[in-house]
């Protein structure tokens, strides 16, 4: 069974698997929901309950931190892109993770996210105005490049304090770094990905120096400010790593989820009609997009001690791969899971994770998605696909490289 399941995993990187991985996920859930994979070198889980259990149990299942990589990935520290990622909060375990997350959340508060809404609305209006201009003659415009990525960059850039003039450069850099999580990344991209990691880190080192010299009303300045007497102070390296993870993770997966979700809306015209008829459904539509075809399709953990999953003995230190895309289509958790329904009321999926490592930027992403969908339904009720759609060739991080739309 493991050999057949591994063949199914390999098919996720084929054109058919990139276009639609969900039949493969269904096969794995039905036939091998927990199995030892030679392809991934670890255990693979595809059911919602199993994935949620692993994410919730931060004592038994820990992220693949630097110590784990030292034992299992010799030489990884010579890889700048992997070294960059391993230093960030999502790849740390308690107690280091606990301290850094607590200090970051002191300034990255619910109130700060709420205060972003006027800026998010202005950014949405601006990018949709650009789309309206680009399609005024009836032609199609590439929606991901015209709307989704500029919007994500504007929102996270305003939050962190990245000047508008630098955002296109950082989009190119983070796009390359994102290839690091592609299990099928071509070897000839390694040098470019590593160079991008160095450039990304250097940029934020410089931004920190500028904000230390001249503070502004942004998160970078807030993290650098001296806290109340007696409170912990974030080190400069901790501030740097916080900015890297917020910026690097703050727009790519949101843009990917929006691209996938808008494609879903327009290929399910009954659902788009519901949204255009009632923009108040935008928040529910965003949640269904995240469940039905989210960008982040996989996550990883390692067993901190011997344990048992579904009758399988998992040795200590074994890697566990969570197929989040499969879990979010599990019929045991979501009735009729392959149906795209923006009025679905069955709870949230695992797109933003669960437990200790719940995504820091989830509230910002939900705000951005909701405002965009609300305005999209109001302004472009006749929106439709206007050309050939192309998907990113990365089974771990789904998204659109071309989404031509017309109105």
191 pLDDT higher than 90: no
Q: What is the pLDDT of residue 183?
A: 59
From the CA atom positions of the chain, what is the Rg in Å? 21
Kindly tell me if the per-residue pLDDT of 359 is higher than 80: yes
Measured CA to CA, the distance from residue 154 to residue 149 in angstroms comes to 8
pLDDT at 369 over 90: yes
Residue 111 has a pLDDT of 82
- Which has the closest alpha carbon to 45: 301, 263, 378, 395? 301
Specify the pTM. Answer: 0.92
Torsion of CA 183, 186, 190, 193, to 10 degrees: -70
Which domain does 49 fall in, by range? Answer: 2-406
- Number of domains the chain is built from: 1
Sort strands 298-303 and 42-45 into parallel, antiparallel or unpaired. unpaired
Across the range 74-82, mean pLDDT stands at 87
Kindly give the residue spans of alpha helices, DSSP state H, lying in 39-161: 48-56, 66-72, 80-86, 96-105, 110-115, 117-134, 143, 149-160
pLDDT the model gives residue 1:
64
In angstroms, the CA 390 to CA 400 distance is: 6
- Dihedrals phi, psi of 314, to nearest 5 degrees: -105, 110
Nearest Cα neighbor of 107 from 245, 218, 212, 211 is: 218
- pLDDT at residue number 231: 67
3-class secondary-structure state, position 289: helix
- pLDDT tens digit sequence for 240-295: 888 888 887 767 788 999 999 999 999 999 999 999 999 999 999 999 999 999 99
360 or 403: which carries more pLDDT confidence? 403
CATH of the domain at 394: 1.10.630.10
pLDDT tens digit sequence for 103-134? 888 888 888 888 889 999 999 999 999 999 99
Rounded Cα distance, 225 and 203, in Å? 20
Which residues face 42 on adjacent strands? Answer: 37
Other CB atoms within 10 A of residue 215 CB? 14
């Amino acid at each position: 069974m493991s050999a057949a399941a591994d063949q199914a995993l390999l098919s996720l990187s084929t054109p058919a698997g990139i276009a639609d991985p969900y039949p493969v996920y269904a096969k794995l859930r039905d036939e091998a929901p927990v199995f030892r994979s030679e392809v991934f070198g670890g255990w693979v889980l595809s059911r919602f309950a199993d994935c949620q259990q692993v994410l919730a149990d931060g004592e038994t299942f820990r992220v693949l931190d630097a110590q784990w990589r030292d034992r299992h990935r010799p030489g990884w520290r010579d890889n700048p892109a992997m070294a960059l990622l391993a230093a960030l909060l999502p790849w740390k375990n308690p107690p280091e993770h606990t301290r850094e997350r607590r200090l970051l959340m002191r300034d990255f508060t619910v109130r700060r996210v709420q205060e972003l809404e006027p800026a998010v609305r202005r950014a949405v209006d601006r990018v949709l105005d650009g789309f309206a201009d680009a399609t005024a003659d009836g032609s199609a415009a590439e929606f991901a490049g015209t709307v989704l990525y500029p919007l994500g960059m504007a929102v996270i850039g305003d939050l962190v304090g990245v000047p508008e003039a630098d955002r296109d450069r950082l989009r190119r850099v983070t796009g390359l770094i994102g290839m690091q999580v592609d299990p099928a990344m071509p070897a000839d991209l390694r040098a470019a990905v590593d160079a991008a990691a160095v450039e990304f880190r250097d940029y934020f080192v410089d931004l920190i120096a500028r904000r230390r010299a001249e503070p502004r009303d942004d998160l970078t300045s807030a993290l650098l400010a001296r806290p109340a007497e007696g409170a912990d102070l974030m080190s400069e390296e901790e501030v740097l790593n916080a900015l890297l993870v917020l910026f690097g993770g703050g727009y790519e997966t949101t843009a990917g989820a929006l691209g996938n979700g808008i494609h879903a809306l327009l290929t399910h015209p009954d659902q788009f009609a519901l949204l255009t008829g009632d923009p108040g459904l935008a928040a529910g539509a965003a949640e269904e997009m995240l469940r039905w075809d989210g960008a982040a399709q996989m996550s990883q953990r390692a067993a901190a001690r011997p344990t048992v999953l579904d009758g399988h003995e998992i040795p200590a230190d074994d890697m566990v791969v969570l197929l989040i895309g499969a879990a979010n289509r599990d019929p045991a958790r979501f009735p009729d899971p392959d149906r795209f329904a923006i009025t679905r009321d069955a709870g949230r999926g695992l797109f933003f994770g669960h437990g200790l490592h719940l995504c820091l930027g989830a509230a910002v992403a939900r705000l951005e998605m909701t405002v965009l969908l609300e305005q999209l339904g109001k302004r472009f009720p006749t929106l439709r696909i206007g050309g050939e759609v192309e998907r990113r060739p990365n089974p771990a991080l789904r998204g659109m490289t071309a989404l031509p739309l017309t109105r």
